[in-house]
Copies of this chain bind each other. A is one copy, B any other.
Amino acid sequence: MIAVAERINGMFKDVRRAIQKKDPGPIVDLAQKQTEQGAGYLDINVGTAAADQLSTMRWLIETVQGACKTPIAIDSQKLPVIQAGLEVCDGRPVMINSVSGDPEKLDVYMPLAVQHNAALVTLTMNVDGVPQNIDTRVEIAMTIVSKAMEHGLDMPKVFIDPIVLPVTVDQKQPIYICEVIKQIKTVLCDPAPSTIVGLSNISQGTSQRPLINRTGLVMLQAYGLDAAIIDVLDTEIMDAAISADVLMNRIIYSDSYLKSARM
């Protein structure tokens, strides 16, 4: 499973402070530590830490690119911020995170992804909001797949996010998400698109966030999940994710598999 490392985000105090002081130290440190812990992508999100999100995104990406070779996920809901990020990318693999499943938006983001040879995170939500059932999520996933075909974006580069909701809001949601992932991976098209979740929402409002996060992650992996935005510095969730990859026959077992998988 691809671990998209979530910590370079302006909502965290240390990152916020670094952005505001233009101090590369903490950013470099997080980039390197997350890389060592097995990050497949480093998610970069300015958040509300700066008034000028465009220049801040550029600075963060350039800082990270100077610190490691890890692929980057440019995380913003604003197209200009995504574009600013893409401009300074140095040719390493890159992911655009994220766009909703509205056809008009996909018509903008998919050509952008193709142009930059980028992966694209697409959410199973549209103008009607976030669906809470299986079928509407799969319908939006179908729209995403057909738009990807139309625009010529390679299917494995399409990362569909079925949008995890908190278990405290509706306990049926995790099972629904498992089923949506299974359908996306087996029914929609061949080769299948990739699947991704922003995991931590599942444990929102619970008393056992890390435990529920890693338990939920393993369940979703059992249904074919390809990627998740997680805290890779949490050793326990990474150990669980890597072990699930062994049990899903995605990586070869060796006695040192926990270490090997992080390299």
The stretch from A74-82, A87-95, A165-173 touching chain B is A165-173
> In the bound complex, what is the Cα–Cα distance between A142 and B78 (angstroms)?
55
Closest B residue to A214 by beta carbon equals B240
- Partner among B223, B243, B248 whose Cβ is within 8 Å of the Cβ of A208: B243
- Least CB distance, A180 to chain B, in whole angstroms: 13
Assess whether A211 is in contact with B243, with CB atoms less than 8 Å apart. Answer: yes
Copies in the complex: 2
Inter-chain contacts of A211 with B (CB < 8 A): 239-240, 243
Assess whether B168 is in contact with A247, with CB atoms less than 8 Å apart. Answer: no
Given known A211-B243, A243-B212, contact A253–B221 (CB-CB < 8 A):
no
User: Does A115 have its Cβ within 8 Å of any Cβ on chain B?
Assistant: no
> In the bound complex, what is the Cα–Cα distance between A97 and B85 (angstroms)?
61
Assess whether A249 is in contact with B218, with CB atoms less than 8 Å apart. Answer: no
Assess whether B206 is in contact with A168, with CB atoms less than 8 Å apart. Answer: no
Given known A211-B240, A239-B211, A253-B168, contact A219–B206 (CB-CB < 8 A):
no
> In the bound complex, what is the Cα–Cα distance between A178 and B223 (angstroms)?
10
- Least CB distance, A107 to chain B, in whole angstroms: 36
Interface of A is mostly: helix
Which of A172, A208, A256 has its CB near the most chain B CB atoms (within 10 A)? A208
Inter-chain contacts of A219 with B (CB < 8 A): 218-219, 221-222, 244, 247-248
Closest B residue to A216 by beta carbon equals B247
Task: Kindly supply a per-residue 1/0 record for chain A positions 191-220, scoring 1 wherever the CB is within 8 Å of any chain B CB and 0 otherwise.
Answer: 000000000001000111001100110110
Closest B residue to A176 by beta carbon equals B249
User: Does A174 have its Cβ within 8 Å of any Cβ on chain B?
Assistant: yes
Besides A171-B249, A178-B222, A212-B243, 11 more A-B contacts (Cβ < 8 Å) are: A167-B246, A171-B246, A172-B249, A174-B247, A174-B249, A206-B255, A208-B243, A208-B258, A211-B239, A211-B243, A215-B218
Some 20 contacts from A to B, beta carbons below 8 A apart, are: A171-B247, A174-B247, A174-B248, A174-B249, A175-B248, A175-B249, A178-B222, A202-B247, A206-B255, A207-B255, A207-B257, A208-B258, A211-B243, A212-B243, A212-B247, A215-B218, A216-B247, A219-B219, A219-B244, A222-B222
